Each structure stands twice: as structure tokens, then as C-alpha cells.
Amino acid sequence: MDRVQRVGISLESDLLRQFDAFISGQGYSSRSEAVRDLIRDRLTQDRLGEPQTEAIAGVFVVYDHHQAQLAQKLIKLQHSHLLKTISSMHVHIGHHECLEVILLRGKVSEISNLGDRIISLKGVKSGKINLIAAAE
Ligand code: NI
């Protein structure tokens, strides 16, 4: 762990009150830990905003497995982008509906491109790309 340095910050009392209520609701036991997490999260979000950043993402899609050839198209897309697909998981969530979670790794721009192609497949009812972390 890096050497820890102490810093002091000044906040308006109303802002501090809101912050304390927020971190208490989140389960933080100290302001320092909450501030560290908020700073890390903000810096990560900033890096994930850059198209060239290496990242990991989870693509979530819900679809009807009766939809003709959608499952095959999902598999085909992943095979054609092998190096970007880390893993995938399929969950049968109803009589007709399936949830697929596909973990991708690559540049933010590549992940967005592949994720958008997956979500826009005909038959996908809902989909979301969650950029989770900047890769080391
Ligand atoms: Ni299924």
C-alpha cells in the first residue's frame, strides 16, 4: 500500500451533513474510506470515458429463446471476437426468457462496438453494457 498522507478539506456544514447521511446509508464506518472510494470511482469513470482505455465490461441481455436463431447469433458474435470475450453465463429466467451475461475485455471503443452489436440483435428485449473497471 502506498504511504498514506493526511489532507484536510473544508466543507459547508449542510454538504457535510448530506455526505454523512449518504455514507451512513452506504454502510461506511469512516469518512476517509468513503472519500477514498468516491475519488477512486470518479477517477475510474473519467478513464472509462476515454475510447482507448483498456477495460472490462459486463453486457447483459434479456431475450426470448424462441426468437429464431438469436442464441446462435449471440454465440457467433462472441466467436468472431474471441479475444474480447472473457466468459459468458446463461440463466433461464422464465418459460420464455433467458438472461445472458457476457464479460468483455478490450478498449472501451471496442467493447462499446461489440456490446452495441449484441444488444441490437433482433429479439433482444433489453440490454445494457456496464463498464466495470479499467483493466491493469
Ligand atoms: Ni435459457
* Cα of 47 from ligand 1 centre, angstroms: 35
Give the class (CATH, top level) of 54-133: alpha beta
* Cα of 103 from ligand 1 centre, angstroms: 18
User: Domain map of the chain by residue range?
Assistant: 13-48, 54-133
Whether 25 has a pLDDT exceeding 70, the answer reads yes
The three cell numbers of residue 85 are 470475450
Q: Express each pLDDT in 34-72 by its tens digit.
A: 999 999 999 999 999 999 999 999 999 999 988 878 888
The residue whose grid cell reads 477495460 is 55
The three cell numbers of residue 39 are 475519488
What does the pLDDT read at residue 136?
65
Q: Express each pLDDT in 95-111 by its tens digit.
A: 999 999 999 999 999 99
Q: For the whole model, what pTM was predicted?
A: 0.78
* Cα of 112 from ligand 1 centre, angstroms: 24
Give the Cα separation of 119 and 106 in Å (integer).
Answer: 18
* Cα of 84 from ligand 1 centre, angstroms: 23
The three cell numbers of residue 80 are 468472431
Give the Cα separation of 85 and 100 in Å (integer).
Answer: 13
Buried residues in 65-90 as b, exposed as e (16+ CB within 10 A): eebeebbebbeeebeebeebbeeeee
